[in-house]
Amino acid sequence: MPDLATGAVVFVTGGASGIGRAAAQQFSVEGASHVVVADVDISGAEHTAASLAGPGSSIELDVTDDAAVAAAIDGLVAEHGRLDIAFNNAGVNDVPRAFHDLDAASWDRMIRVNLSSVFVCMKHELRHMAAAGSGSIVNTSSGAGVVAAPGLPHYTAAKHGVVGLTKAAAQEYARQGIRVNAVLPGSTDTTMLQSFIAGDEGMAKIIASSNIHGRLIEPDEIASAVVWLASPHAGMVNGQSLIVDGGGLVR
């Protein structure tokens, strides 16, 4: 199979670690001409950029800041001439709690980081892609984008929202040469997940057995799906939610 990202200019958010780092690395291996790694954790983003097989760079970026995102993407296009692929992956998690115990601040933070940021990034990505008449966007949702995550109503709402945004953009921009899809990971062995289950052996066992393979998913396994979704090999895949959960939802 030819390189899946040959010559592409790629923008990855949440690229300092986990799925974002793995995707940035795979895009580079698959022939990207340049990968821009964005994260609030600039040290992690720099580490990812330094690990790439080909050209790349890093930027410190708060994806909830509309003006900052606009400047970052405008700057990318000014420097590299275009934006071919965007992977909107930045996000946060939270501790489970009863619905009636969820405070407004936690709700607002979750929606802002996990949903509004995707809208902000897509808005500016689509502006440039529409002008160019081509582009591919992949958004990170979650298994919680199709079923409820127990104790996490705000996370569930945000990730369902990402699926809706993905469909809306795909429908609107398909005839302008742009595809928009979502990847829905199951429990993946990332720093965010490890901090979520730290010290709770019972929770760790439950999460590790949450799919039919009986183990956590590796970030590279999600990244492979992302790179394929973004590539020309998925040219008629549009507006779709690709569940990569080790069969967790087939039960």
- 159-188 pLDDT, tens digit per residue, is 999 999 999 999 999 999 999 999 999 888
What is the bridge-based pairing of β-strands 135-140 and 241-244? Answer: unpaired
Query: 205 pLDDT exceeds 80?
Result: no
For 194: left if phi > 0, alpha if psi spans -120 to 50, otherwise beta; the answer is: alpha
Active site residues: 155
Nearest residue to 135 (alpha-carbon basis) of 82, 90, 183, 171:
82
Whether residue 146 contacts residue 249, with contact meaning beta carbons closer than 8 Å, is answered with yes
| Confidence (pTM) | 0.94
Q: Which fold has domain 9-185+226-245?
A: Rossmann fold (3.40.50)
Beta bridge partners of 9: 34
Q: Taking the domains of the chain in order of start, what are their residue ranges?
A: 9-185+226-245
Instruction: Answer with the residue of higher pLDDT: 57 or 149.
Output: 57
